[in-house]
A and B are shown apart, each in its own frame.
Chain A
Amino acid sequence: MRWTWLAITVLSSTVGDLVSAKGMVQHGELEHFGARRVGRLLRYIGTHPLIVTGIAFNALSFFSFLALLSVAELSFAVPATALSYILKTALSHWYLGEHVSARRWLGAACVAIGVYLIAI
């Protein structure tokens, strides 16, 4: 059962992050964080279709993560969800047009292996 919840957690979090990052890229660089600016940011987040969709997928991921926590230990649940690093790094080039250099891939791979070592 824990692998089913894990799969739902990882896949929905991957879709959620990619889609909401796409929406945020269109916002423009945030350089100031005054109250009015943050208010406008929250309105942008709450009304942008891509970001709302992304948050919905991340919410799905969160609730399946809670279900996962109820059947597995924290030391299995938390690190195992980080499998999504590889998926997100691979898809960020294709979906977001990011340049994932060799150094960044190596770093992401170290992180993923490290996460696996923590999980076992």
Chain B
Amino acid sequence: MSPAGHKLRNQIFITLLVVTNTLGNLFVAIGMDAMPAFQPGKLLSYSVRVLTNAWFVSGIALMIVWMVAQLSMFTWADLSYVLPMTASSYALTAILGKFFLNENISAARWAGIALISFGVILVSETPAWTHAVPPPEEEA
């Protein structure tokens, strides 16, 4: 794979991780919003109610895609690279929370969104793979 190919692969996967993580969290939260507070004594009826909630189930499906995509990325990129790079999903979650759940974005929260974006840019300037040896070749 060419250097440009590597860069494109990184961009595609970071975008995929951010989108699936943000929407997965949002959908699960919308599903949970409709639920009463959890009581251990009502585990069964609670579980049935959660697992038949369309928002919750689509959220879980997105989280499974997110998990497999993130694991794939660990074969060519550091954990300490992937995690902050995908942190923009927290900023996105705050913004989506404003639009879909009517949560407020205070001045402090806007500053947080800006700092996260700055941190993501800093980490994006570091090499994705810093192990002493290159990633092992995948067997054919």
Contacts and interface: CB of A to CB of B under 8 A. Distances in A.
Interface of A: 17-18, 20-21, 24-31, 33, 41-42, 45, 51, 55, 58, 62, 66-67, 69-71, 73-75, 78-79, 82, 85, 88-89, 92-93, 96-101, 103-104, 106-120
Nearest to B87: A111
Interface residues of B, number: 56
Nearest to B134: A29
Contacts of A41: 68, 72
A103 B130 CA distance: 13
A67 B138 contact: no
Contact of A28 (B112, B122, B126, B135): B135
Contacts of A92: 78-80
A102 B140 CA distance: 37
A31 B96 CA distance: 33
B54 interface: no
Interface of B: 1, 9, 25, 28-29, 32, 35, 37-38, 63, 67-68, 71-72, 74-76, 78-81, 83-84, 87, 90-91, 93-94, 97, 101, 103, 108-109, 111-123, 125-126, 130-132, 135-139
Contacts of B83: 17, 85, 88-89, 108
A75 B103 contact: yes
A24 B13 CA distance: 16
Contact of B132 (A20, A97, A107, A110): A97
Contacts of A45: 68, 71
Given A25-B74, A28-B138, A31-B1, A69 B32 contact: yes
